[in-house]
Amino acid sequence: MPLVDITYAPNLPHKVLRQLVEVLPHAVSVAVECPEEPYDEDLQAGDVELYFRRRGPWDVSEMDVVVEVRSKWFESRAENRQDRVDGLCAAIEEATGLAHVGVYLSLPIAAWAQS
């Protein structure tokens, strides 16, 4: 279950934000798919959590959007994490047409529970 923080430039059009809402659950699921947590393409509530934050006046960034994904560490995920973020970055660029996209994948040792 990945947690996804999206920080975006204040001038980013709402149309692009809607595209991110539509694309990210699937694209993130593909990026973190592994044998321990296979992706069956049937996303349910809590499978991918998206949190949007508009960049503030004191934030410093040249990026249109930065997507930070936190998902539980598994060795199979860690082995090819650069390929995973490269693919996710490309999927975001293709879906939005943005030129300045950053993707950060964090794989902490963690646990998750939900009701």
Write down the pLDDT at residue 20. 97
Q: What is the pLDDT of residues 42-88, one digit of tens each?
A: 898 888 999 999 999 999 999 999 999 999 999 999 999 999 999 99
Q: Where are the domains of the chain?
A: 1-10+28-51+76-99
Whether 1 shows a pLDDT value over 80: the answer reads no
Identify the pLDDT of residue 9. 97
Q: Which of these, 100, 105, 18, lies nearest to 68 by C-alpha position? A: 105
Tell me the percentage of the chain whose pLDDT exceeds 90: 86
Q: How far is CA 95 from the centre of its chain?
A: 13
- Measured at the CA of 98, the angle between CA 93 and CA 100, to 5 degrees, comes to 95
- CA 2 to chain CA centroid, nearest Å: 8
Q: How far is 36 from 75, CA to CA, in rounded Å?
A: 10
